[in-house]
Structures are given as C-alpha cells and as structure tokens.
A and B are shown apart, each in its own frame.
Chain A
Amino acid sequence: MRPRTTLAALMSGIALAGLAASMPAGGAHAQEGTPGGTMRLLAKAASGTIDPHINYTLQYFQINYMLYDGLVTFRKAGDETGFDVVADLAEELPEPQNDGKTYVFKLREGIRFSDGTDLTPEDVLASFQRIFKVSGPTSGTFYNGIVGADACLESPADCTLDGGVVIDDAANTVTINLTAPDGEFLQKIAIPHAAILPAETPAEDAGTTPVPGTGPYMIESYNPNEQLRMVRNPHFAEWSADAQPAGYPDQIDYDFGLTEEAAVTAIQNGQADWMFDPPPPDRLAEIGSRYASQVSVHPLTAMWYAPMNTNLAPFDDVRVRQAVNYAIDRSAIVKLFGGAALAQPACQILPPGFPSYVPYCPYTAGGTDTWSAPDMEKARALVAESGTAGQEVTIVAEDNTVSRAIGVYLQGVLNELGYKTSVQPISQNIQFTYIQNTNNKVQISISQWFQDYPSPSNFLQVLFGCDSFTPGSDASVNIAGFCDEAIDAKMDEAAALTLTDPEKSAQMWTEVDHAVTDAAPAAVLFTPKRVDFVSKRVQNFTFSPQFYWIMSQSWLQ
C-alpha cells in the first residue's frame, strides 16, 4: 500500500435516540475522557473515491477502519497486539476447517448499518461479490483464492461466488470456501477492502457518495476539494472494544487543501488537531523542541527502496545490483529524510519488528548484521567484474523533495561506480504506476512500500513474487520484475505452512527474506518513522502498528 496514490479512481444529522448508544460508556473510557466536540483533521489533498472496496490509500484506510467493519479486523490497540486479528461482525474467530479451506463465520445479532437496516448474511455475500464487481484493487491478489473467484475475475458483472461464499439465514452464518489453504486469509479479510456493506450498495465506484457502514461514525458529506465530514452513526452500539470501540469526538472534519506548512501552523494555533501529511522537514526542529509534548514518533512497518529492473541492463546482472547495495551510504539517505530520529538505515526486505524479521545485512562494511557503513571498494570491484561501467542509467524518482533528493544522491553513487546517470523526477501522481509498467523501460526507481497486513508475504511475495510481475501492465507491483523460481517455490511453501506449522513457516519466510536480499532486486534504503503532530487539546493519542493513530480513541480537552 502507498501513503496516497491514485490506484483508485476518484446523512446529515444525528438521531438523538441513537446518540447515547454510540458514545463510549462505562469502563476505562468514561474514566479517562469525555465524549464530544468536533475534531479537525487536515490533509494537503483528498485521496479519491471513498468507496471502501476500491480506495487503496493509507489516508482513507485509516478512517475506513472506524466507518466500516469486516467479519474480522485487527485489534484496536496501541501495542504489538494491534497486529492480532480479532472477531468483528463475526461472533468469534473461526477455526479453519476442511484442511484450512473452509471458514464458517457466525454473525453477531443486532448490528445495524448507519442507514438503519439490519446486518444479514445477504449483506456479507453481496459485499464479497461486490469486491469483484467493482474490480477492487486487491480482488485478484487477496481474494482470488475464494471458490468462484476465477469466474468473478473473468466476468466481474456476473460475479456470484457460487460455492465460495455460502450463507445460511436461519443459522445467521456465512461459510467461505477457498480453493487452497491460505494461512493469511483472515488478515486479508480484515482490511477495509473486505468491509461488509448493505446488499443494496450499487456495484459501481461510489466516488463521492457515502456508503453506509456499521462503524461508530458515518460520512455525512464528502467534497474532495474541500472536506470530508464524519458524524456519529446513530445506529451504532459497541459490541467489542477490541474490534470496534465507540468513538469520543461527536464529529470529525477532514479538511483538504492546506499545505503542510500551513497545517503545522494551524495545529500550533489550535485551529486544527492533526495533519495526515508528514510535517515539512524545515518545521521538524521547531515542533520537536517547542511542541515536543504534542509530537509522537513511531517506527513504521514500511520501507523506502530502490527497485532495480532485473530484466534490463545493467541491473540484469546480480553483481551490479549488489554493487549498488554495497555503495549506498544509508546514513546519508536517512539525513535526506530528516535524520536519525525519523528513519533507520535498512538493507533487508522485511522491516524491523515485523513477523519473521531477523537482522541481516550482507551489504555493509564490517560484516555485521545491521548496516553500519558503505563498502565502495567492494562495490567497484563488482562493477568491474560485471564489465558494465560506462552504461547509461536513468533513475526515475517522484517529484517531491525527499524522493528527488534521494534520486540525486543515487545519481552521485552510480556515477562514482562508473555509470552515466541521469535523474528523471516525474509527478508523484503517476510515478508509481509508471515505474511498474515494463513498456516504460525503467531501470531503477525510488519507491516506498507500507504493509497492508502484518505478514512477510505482504512484502516478499507481493513485491518480489513471480505472480506479482505482469509485463506491460501498470499494476505490476513487482517493479524489479524479479522472478526466481526457487525462491518463489519457497514462498509458496512458507505460505502453505502458515496454518499447519506456523513456526516452520516463519523460519522459511526469514530464509526467503535473506535470499531475496542476497539476490538484490532492490536496494532497501531505510525504515521510515511516522511523526504525528497533534493539537494541545487532543488527549489519549494511541498509535496502532496497523491503523497508525486510532483517531476515534482520542478525546478533545
């Protein structure tokens, strides 16, 4: 997932009767904070459609988690348990049956959508069908293992998922059958792309039209050029504090259009409560010193990396790719991102703290497990061995300060290695799709990857698996075009073992991580940290590794 991309195309009033039920009641919530008030969030720009089945941006994933529910979700917690999958609309987490190919979910009783209609198994079936009917961005990758998905992918409009999603109204259950065991299936249906919507929801991109959900808030209005307004869902009653706790603010306004500079000033002045975009680098020192109590810094399970096209010279030679990895001074690149407080040098695919992560860095001077310094001598030797010096290389970066700066830095490194290098910054609206398409013959680029769900496959298989490489397509997220059959087979094996032997699976993913790092289809640069700057009145800032700031759990002073 990307922070804000263009992968996707682009009720007013609160019923007083439902208000009491939708506010936090009892327990720790009531002791710690008081519900009420309007929270004002800022972003430089909107993120396109608000259709939860289509939007694939961090910006709207973050709010969709409090607008919609799936059968399961990730725990709303501010520690590592935030990666755990918990039952949401389902009463409990199902045990896989039929050798891991069948999951039976019993729906909770009494849950209503924000339009007042009751949640039924028909809604679940229609929602899963809709994922394919609207050609959701992950329909072919996350949900293609459901029985009947092949037909749905071939002819989305006629999608029935016959035999794949089976409902029993009398028993209030939904049975999902898979074509093969998938140890990550529950994680895949815990993201907003598998949100359960009313069965009547049109099977087309909702665009700017709010879609009813079951969460504590609902969208009252959305104008991508101005504002997204969320108000309390009058039909919400908390059923699980782990899955979907009631929210504190009565209303959440998400305003678009202010620059990052202006947003920082607005938060300093108490005119806004939080900004989605990272604070601009030249304001960091100021907010880190004068407003330190309002700043939170958290490492992300993400990476900035430079994919190298393994099918194009000179990067079709593994020695060249390894040379680039040896030559990069990651501490210098960290400085371009804002310094050591905001990023950590990295040289393996899986980020620290991620499942199966074991420190590994073959591309460092000193032979340690973590990166310490570049090794230019080794890099030059590898380039000389490859006989590719003198070739032309173009780096495609995004047209923003950090990406362009990294591109210029890499240009210097590649020039030093003997290549004739140029940097081509292009608009960040199109760069991500541009670098994926093999027709554009991109040799090396600057990109980022943020996890969708906490599984090694979400980095290794998605970014470097053979199935993720589709020549000539704008949606070929394996940007390096890397396809090693032995490593791919090991990925499949590791994925298959997730259910039956999780320990062995985790160990295999570690081996895959190290093998892909050795093959160097990309130069991993650093693991970013997120800086959240909130207003003085925001209390109980809770940061989940999955959702980032859980905004509904903060109250306003």
Chain B
Amino acid sequence: MTDTTPPLPEKARAAEGPWATAWRRLKRDRAALAALAVLLVILAACLAAPLYATYVSGTNPFATNLNGTITVDGKSRDVLEASTEGLGLGLTPIGPTWQLGPYMLGADNQGRDVAARLLYGGRNSLFIAGAAAVLCLVVATFVGVVAGFFGGLVDTVLSRILDVLWAFPIFLLAISLSIVLISQPLLIGPFEIRSGSLALPIVIIGVVYIPYVARPIRNHVITLMKSEFVTAAVGLGASPWRILWVDILPNVVTRIIVFVPLMLALNMIIESALSFLSIGVQPPDASWGTIIQDGQGLLYSRPAVALAPGIAIAVTVLALNIFGDGVRDALDPKSTVRIG
C-alpha cells in the first residue's frame, strides 16, 4: 500500500490563506526585505528631522544664516566664505564637515544646513508621493473596476476619458496651474488649492497617473469576469453586487497592493521634478527636488548640496522598486505589472 498523505509542511501550506502565502514568499525574498529595511531607515530618519535639527545640527534649516559662523576643528569659519584670492570675487558656502554636528553636509547658498534640510525635505517628498499614490489608487481602482465590470457604454466613456488623461503633458499642466492659481485658487468642492499648496502636486500627480493604474485594473476585471468562478457565481444566481464584492474586488486588491510601492517610486521622481520647477513645495520649506534646485548653482564648488538629495531620491526609488517587485512576486507571481 502506498501512503498518499502529503508531507506535513505541505499540509500546513495548504491550510494557510493567500496573505500568509504572500508573506511567506516575501520573507524568502532577501532583496525585498533589505529594500524594506532601507525604506524604513529613510522614513525614520525623515521623521526624526526636528530632532536632528534641534539636537545635532543646532540650526534652523528654514532661516537664512548669511552672517553666521561655526567652529570646525577649533577654528572659527564663516558659513559663507568670501574668496580672498585675486579679485576676491564670490562667496562659497561652507562644505561638508563630515562631523555629526552643524553642517555635516555643508551649507546651501543661504547658509542653511543641508543635512537638516535633506531630512525635512524627505518628509515632504515622501508625503507628496504617498498622498498622490493614495489619491491615484483610490480613483483608478474605482474607475478601472466600474469600467471593467459594467463594460459597454460605461467602459467606452471611461476609457476615452482615460485616453485624454494619458495624453496630458504633466509638466505643462503643472506649470500652467501653478501660474493661474497664484491669484485665483482652485476650488474643488470644499477643497481649496492654492498655487503654493502641497495639494497642487498631489492632485496633479494623482490625477495624471490614474490611467496608468486604471487600465491594468480594468483589464484584470474583464479577465476575472470571464473566469470560471464568476461564471459559476452567475449560474448560481448571485447578484452583480455580490459578484463584485466577493469575487472581483478581493482579486483586484492584491494587484492594487503591488501598485503601491511602484507608484510611490514614480511619484517621488515626478515630485522632485515638479519641486525643481518651483511647483509644490515652496520656500523656505524643502523637498528633495527643491534642494537639488538650490544646489544647481553650486554644482562646481559645493556638489554635495545637489548630490545628497539626488542620492536620497535614487536610493529611495531603487528600494521602492525592489520592494515593489518583491511584493508583486509574493502577491501576484503571474502579474507583469510595470509603471511608467
């Protein structure tokens, strides 16, 4: 006689739910876990920005400090150092001291601590990226599910609207809105969006990228609608709302989760570009994009000002993408979701 009982671990696996399976797969993905650790470190560092500014750098990262001095290696130095050679032209902000204290990464052209601004800037960059991702995913999920589930005229109308959004030049839209809104805030129901408001990049990024998410979700819903379990549910007389709630949405959720880190990564890059164009985060607040903009004029003499936020963006986006791939492999191994 042959024992056909499967080994115990397999038995245990058969009993676990889809989330547990996903978590088990994710735990096996060392790259994804490392990326998650990096992200958590970055997030924690950014959240600790006020502590860093108060107890480590001891400077106000939002106030100009043009006449300030600091002591480095026992010597007093101006934060903005005047050239003493030749014609004595130009002032150069103090470079990185590489010491845990004031101006560890140097100063920008206003004499502000770059390291402290980097941490504060990360808060804004991550917040805008996160809020835009939430807005985009909520609206895109609704549109994608409705279009895929109801089909017909509803699908046609929604798909054409998505086509229009898909074709919209994001930077042109952002620049135009930022100018128009200076004197006339945009009112969306109870919400008021002003030119310098953080809501502006959030709405722009969130809305413009809806098609990138809504289209794959719509296609996924159409595929699900043709699957055997939905056909069976229809055959058993289940109501459309029950099918939607019980059979469709749970299968869409995993795909939405896969989108989260990927959207965050994309939004980080777009936010930085918009901030570089002075749209969104306004002075004296910082985001990684605005710090790059501040450092643009110091690339030759003080490259750290632009390099530091550039590296922060690169590392964060890389970590988000690696983690996103890990999440995708864990939740939806057959998916080929890509954004951008």
Contacts and interface: CB of A to CB of B under 8 A. Distances in A.
B231 interface: no
Contact of B300 (A283, A340, A404, A412): A283
B272 interface: no
B106 to A, nearest CB: 12
A412 B284 contact: yes
Interface in A325-357: 329, 331-332, 335-336, 338-342
Interface string B67-109: 1000000000000101101111111100000000000000001
B66 A335 contact: yes
A292 interface: yes
A284 interface: yes
B156 interface: no
A143 to B, nearest CB: 33
Given A412-B64, A424-B195, A439-B183, A338 B91 contact: yes
A285 B183 contact: no
B302 interface: yes
Given A285-B92, A411-B284, A292 B87 contact: yes
Nearest to B87: A288
B24 to A, nearest CB: 50
Given A423-B283, A430-B179, A408 B85 contact: no
Given A281-B109, A425-B283, A339 B90 contact: yes
Query: Which size bracket describes the interface of A in this complex?
Result: 35 or more
Given A336-B110, A423-B283, A285 B85 contact: yes
Contact of A440 (B82, B88, B89, B182): B182
B179 A341 contact: no
Contact of B85 (A289, A297, A342, A424): A289
B254 interface: no
B299 interface: yes
A240 interface: no
Contacts of A422: 196, 282
Contact of B86 (A292, A401, A411): A292
Contact of B91 (A281, A329, A401, A404): A281
Query: Which size bracket describes the interface of B in this complex?
Result: 35 or more
B151 interface: no
B296 interface: yes
Given A407-B283, A408-B283, A426-B182, A336 B89 contact: no
B64 A332 contact: yes
A341 B83 CA distance: 10
B283 A336 contact: no
B301 interface: yes
A236 B109 CA distance: 49
A473 interface: no
A341 B66 contact: no
A426 B87 CA distance: 34
A396 interface: yes
Nearest to B80: A335
Nearest to A396: B182
A336 B91 CA distance: 8
Given A282-B298, A289-B83, A427-B175, A339 B195 contact: no
Interface majority SS (helix, strand, loop, mixed), chain B: loop
Given A284-B83, A289-B85, A338 B110 contact: no
Contacts of B109: 281, 336, 401, 405
Nearest to A441: B183
Nearest to B81: A285
Interface in A430-472: 430, 434, 439-441
A425 B179 contact: no
Nearest to A296: B87
A411 B283 contact: yes
B278 A284 contact: no
Interface majority SS (helix, strand, loop, mixed), chain A: helix
Residue of A261, A339, A396 ringed by the most chain B CB atoms within 10 A: A339
Given A283-B300, A404-B283, A297 B87 contact: yes
B297 interface: yes
A409 B110 contact: yes
A405 B109 CA distance: 8
B278 A426 contact: yes
Residue of B64, B109, B278, B294 ringed by the most chain A CB atoms within 10 A: B64
A282 B300 contact: yes
A287 interface: yes
Nearest to B92: A285
Given A282-B297, A289-B87, A297-B89, A408 B284 contact: yes
Nearest to A395: B283
Residue of B277, B282, B298 ringed by the most chain A CB atoms within 10 A: B282
B238 interface: no
B89 A341 contact: yes
Residue of B64, B67, B90 ringed by the most chain A CB atoms within 10 A: B90
B182 A288 contact: no
A524 to B, nearest CB: 19
B63 interface: yes
Contacts of B297: 280-282, 401
A503 B178 CA distance: 51
A288 B88 contact: yes
A399 interface: yes
Contacts of A282: 90, 92, 297-302
Nearest to B111: A335
A430 B278 CA distance: 14
27 contacts: A281-B109, A282-B299, A282-B302, A283-B301, A285-B91, A288-B88, A289-B83, A289-B86, A329-B66, A329-B67, A335-B80, A336-B109, A336-B110, A339-B83, A339-B88, A339-B91, A396-B182, A401-B109, A408-B284, A411-B284, A422-B196, A423-B282, A423-B283, A424-B182, A426-B178, A430-B179, A440-B182
Given A401-B294, A424-B196, 12 more contacts: A281-B91, A282-B90, A282-B302, A284-B90, A288-B88, A290-B86, A295-B87, A336-B66, A341-B90, A342-B90, A405-B110, A425-B283
Interface of A: 261, 280-290, 292, 295, 297, 329, 331-332, 335-336, 338-342, 394, 396, 399, 401, 404-405, 407-409, 411-412, 422-427, 430, 434, 439-441, 531
9 closest pairs, A vs B, by CB? Answer: A284-B90, A288-B89, A289-B86, A289-B85, A285-B83, A282-B301, A288-B87, A292-B86, A285-B90
